[in-house]
Amino acid sequence: MDSPYNAFAHLNSPSVAQSVASLPAYSPPSRRIGSRQRESTEHVIESSSNRVQKNAKPWAVLRVHSKGPEGGLPTFLEGEQIKGSVTLDSSMSNSRHISAVRVIVRGELSIGTQEADRVTFLELASTLWAKDSPEPRRDLHWPFSVSLPRQVITSSGTAKEIEAYPLPPTFIERNTTFVYIPTTRPDPPSLLRQLAYQERSSLLGPNADPDGWYTLPPTKVSGKLFNNRVVEVTCRLSLAKPLCYTRGSVIPLSLTLTSADSQALDLLSSRQALAVRLRRKIASKHAGTRAEIGAPWSGLWPSMEDSVDVLHSAIWWKRPGDNISSGDTSGSQLSRELEGEILLSKNLKPTFRISHFGTEYFVVMLPFTTTSFVPSTLAQRFNNGPLITVPVEIATMYPKGPRPIAHSPPEYQRPSTARPASRSNTSRSATLNGFE
């Protein structure tokens, strides 16, 4: 986003314009949504016409106030205004050649090198002073205040259609000048789950709290165990409702495995064999594709370039009272009930879509990872795709009511680090200038 940092003054002198465009970059802040309120920070950006001397006196100073940390990027939550001031030094020769002083806030989506791959979805300009203004210039200091809209209207990714979108979050730190965070919030969980959070007690499972869980249809997996007998296991995965979770919190999970073979259950219900993970898809369409496809995007957005990142893995433990009998292969159905959760990083980007770019999240269950069990199908044998895929959303604010808490045993609770990204065939990076 060009915003106040690199487009705050409209000047006649090319050399002055270059000095404005070369303002210093900032490293992004680490901010926890829902934490205690920060005091307002003044972010100061100075522009000097002398590039050789680092300590040269600045001729222009931009000040922006936000709740971002000192030394980091200005950070604005949805609904907040961008406030600050512009001050020029009247003793500098550059100041005498100014024809206008403006504050410009611009949001740009860029997914390629072609001009058609760029979309400016937001541009707000406020003229603080102009040479032809009827009011005389009494000083060289101008305060400003710019309100960010909650929605923008821009191309929908098709050839002719336009659509209204919520103002998206900052997506990439490179070349950004401030951070914008939309206030997205999940609906409250079930009353029984809220009570568990309030009392800090264990969560009730899908059988005891059916309103609190989204249970997938059963998935059957068959294969050869220890290379000497064929077994079949039925998997029933449940995710806490609603399927929208706040970054920095958790995704509660429940898994039931059913089989007539207790040895297979013991093996496949181990933490080492289970692979349930959070994936993120970054999706985009390019200009040629948009011209060919006349229908708006829907669902998984077909015919697009995308990348898939594996972010976090689930932690599992046995649900109290689980059937742990072993050695029974008489044919009766036995089960193993597991509790689990995915610990979410507080730095996850929220789910969003604007024009021909966006992010989607999925919880996936992959084939069992153990050498003692060989799946019957080649796809599962070579881990070619997940057994179960559930679309979920990531929000920035906590739901109303008691906050979600982690329930995994202390020895399992550890920072959930991102795994190396596995990407599809795409060579172009998607950038959203001006939003983290």
DSSP for 256-311, written as a single string: EEEES-HHHHHHHTSTTT--EEEEEEEEE--HHHHHH--SPP-TT-SS-EEEEEEE
Asked whether residue 32 falls in the same domain as residue 155, the answer is yes
Residue ending a domain, among 181, 202, 225, is: 181
Do 152 and 204 have their domain in common? no
Pairing of β 229-240 and β 41-47: unpaired
How far is Cα 297 from Cα 284, in angstroms, rounded to an integer? 11
Q: Specify the residue for token string 């705050």.
A: 8
135 Cβ partners below 8 Å, 6+ apart?
none
Domain stops at, among 130, 156, 181: 181
- 429 within a domain of the structure (yes/no): no
- pLDDT at residue 296 greater than cutoff 80: no
154 and 254 both lie in a single domain: no
Query: Who's near 379: CB < 8 A, 6+ residues apart?
Result: 385
Beta pairing, strands 98-110 & 118-130? antiparallel
Classify residue 436: in a domain, yes or no: no
- Give the confidence band of 129 by pLDDT, cuts at 50, 70, 90: confident
Domain span holding position 283? 191-424
The confidence score (pLDDT) of residue 53 equals: 61
In a shared domain, residues 176 and 64: yes
CATH code for position 286: 2.60.40.640
Please write the tens of the pLDDT for every residue from 57-99.
788 889 999 988 888 889 999 988 999 999 988 776 556 677 8
Structural domain contains residue 432: no
Q: Please indicate, yes or no, whether residues 253 and 401 belong to a single structural domain of this protein.
A: yes
Shared-domain flag, residues 246 and 100: no
Count, residues in the chain:
436
* Residues 148, 38 within the same domain: yes
Q: Where does residue 434 fall: left (phi above 0), alpha (psi -120 to 50 degrees), or beta otherwise?
A: left
Measured distance between the N- and C-terminal CA atoms of the chain, rounded to whole angstroms? 10
Task: Mark whether 371 and 236 lie in a shared domain.
Answer: yes
Nearest-angstrom CA–CA distance, 84 and 74: 11
Q: What's the pLDDT at 112?
A: 62
Query: Looking at the structure, do residues 136 and 285 belong to the same domain, yes or no?
Result: no
Residue identified by tokens 């809220």 is 194
Q: Look at residue 221 and tell me whether its pLDDT is greater than 50.
A: yes
* Greatest mean pLDDT among 303-317, 347-361, 375-389, 415-429: 347-361
Q: Examine residue 128 and state whether it is found in any structural domain, yes or no.
A: yes
Greater pLDDT, 398 or 282: 398
pLDDT digits (tens, 9 = 90+) for 226-274: 888 999 999 999 999 999 999 999 999 999 999 999 999 999 999 889 9
Query: Could you tell me if 237 and 152 lie in one domain?
Result: no
The pLDDT confidence band at residue 297, using thresholds 50, 70 and 90, is very low
Nearest Cα to Cα of residue 286 among 436, 428, 433: 428
Find the angle CA(329)-CA(334)-CA(336) to the nearest 5 degrees: 125
pLDDT exceeds cutoff 90 at 211: yes
- Out of 119, 150, 181, a domain closes at 181
Residues 168 and 211 in one domain: no
Number of domains making up the chain: 2
Query: Across all residues in the chain, what is the average pLDDT?
Result: 76
Examine the pLDDT at 310 and tell me if it is beyond 90. no
Q: What is the pLDDT of residues 6-53, one digit of tens each?
A: 333 333 333 323 333 332 333 333 333 344 456 789 999 888 766 656
Question: What is the reported pTM?
Answer: 0.70
pLDDT per residue over 93-123, tens digit each? 556 677 888 899 988 887 665 666 677 888 8
Residue 410 falls inside a structural domain:
yes
Other residues' Cβ atoms within 10 Å of the Cβ of residue 28: 19
Contacts of 84 (CB under 8 A, 6+ apart): 4, 43, 62, 63, 64, 65, 143, 144
**Residue 435 located in a structural domain:** no
Task: In whole angstroms, give the CA distance from residue 217 to residue 206.
Answer: 13
At residue 40, the pLDDT reads 87
327 conformational bin, left if phi > 0, alpha if psi -120 to 50, beta if neither? left
